[in-house]
Amino acid sequence: MSTLRQFASRISLATAVAFSAQLVFAQDATAPADPTLSMGTTANAAPELKTKETAATGDLYLAGTFDLWELRCLKAAEGKDPCRLYQLLKSADGNPTAEISIFNLPEGSQAVAGAAILVPLDTLLSANLAIAVDTNREMIYPYTVCGLDGCVARVGFSADQISQMKNGAAATLTIVPAGAPDQKVPVTMSLKGFTNGYDAVTAANAP
């Protein structure tokens, strides 16, 4: 088996098993206002998400779907439930490869939206994560932290970048395997339904 195929196999295993762990976002310039929200359980690794009516405090629940995007919220003990727009991303051969959770940021932040993108542990971190919407120029982001479940790039999006995604058809995320630094793994992120999904998460997180 080639190094790239081995990497793809580990991606699939990591997503199916380890991505069931929760991501907790710290509060900084590109993180959400409420740091208690956690995301990350994929449909491959856990039962279906609960509904708002059946969720208990601390449970993640599905608040809406927008094509491949899911509005996921965390049932809070009091106050509003913080929400994220989530998509499970797959490689060209259909292997679950990464996860993205997008959220709007409060006015006055350095970016209008933030995201946490989870990739497999055996990713070449020095290569950084590249994101390109349709044929637009690639945006390059560093990985910020790794844990037992994978490595995370914490991303800030400008108003122009969110506009690109609202008007785009798909984005390509490029990941480089640590075992094959001369090769790249492209991952497609569908943007169908993104506009309605982003508007929904913005409304859900409004003060």
Q: What is the CATH number of the domain that holds 93?
A: 2.60.40.1880
Q: How many domains does the chain have?
A: 1
Q: Which pLDDT value is given to residue 37?
A: 31
**Mean pLDDT lowest among 17-26, 78-87, 146-155:** 17-26
DSSP H stretches of helix in the chain: 3-17, 159-167, 194-204
The answer, yes or no, to whether residue 166 has pLDDT greater than 50, is yes
**Mean pLDDT lowest among 42-46, 86-90, 180-184, 191-195:** 42-46
| Tens digit of each residue's pLDDT (9 = 90 or more) over 115-164 | 999 999 999 999 999 999 999 999 999 999 998 888 999 999 999 999 99
* Contact status, residue 97 vs residue 188, Cβ threshold 8 Å: no
Average model confidence (pLDDT) across the chain = 81
Cα distance between residue 1 and residue 134, in whole Å: 32
Q: How confident is the model at residue 43 (pLDDT cuts 50, 70, 90)?
A: very low
Domain carrying residue 116: 3-204
Cα distance between residue 91 and residue 128, in whole Å: 17
Amino acid in the structure at residue 17:
V
Q: Which pLDDT value is given to residue 79?
A: 87
**Mean pLDDT lowest among 41-50, 125-134, 182-191:** 41-50
Cα distance between residue 33 and residue 106, in whole Å: 7
| Average pLDDT for 57-84 | 94
Strands (DSSP E) contained in 25-95 are: 38-39, 60-66, 69-74, 83-91
pTM of the model: 0.79
| Average pLDDT for 159-185 | 94
132/28: higher pLDDT: 132
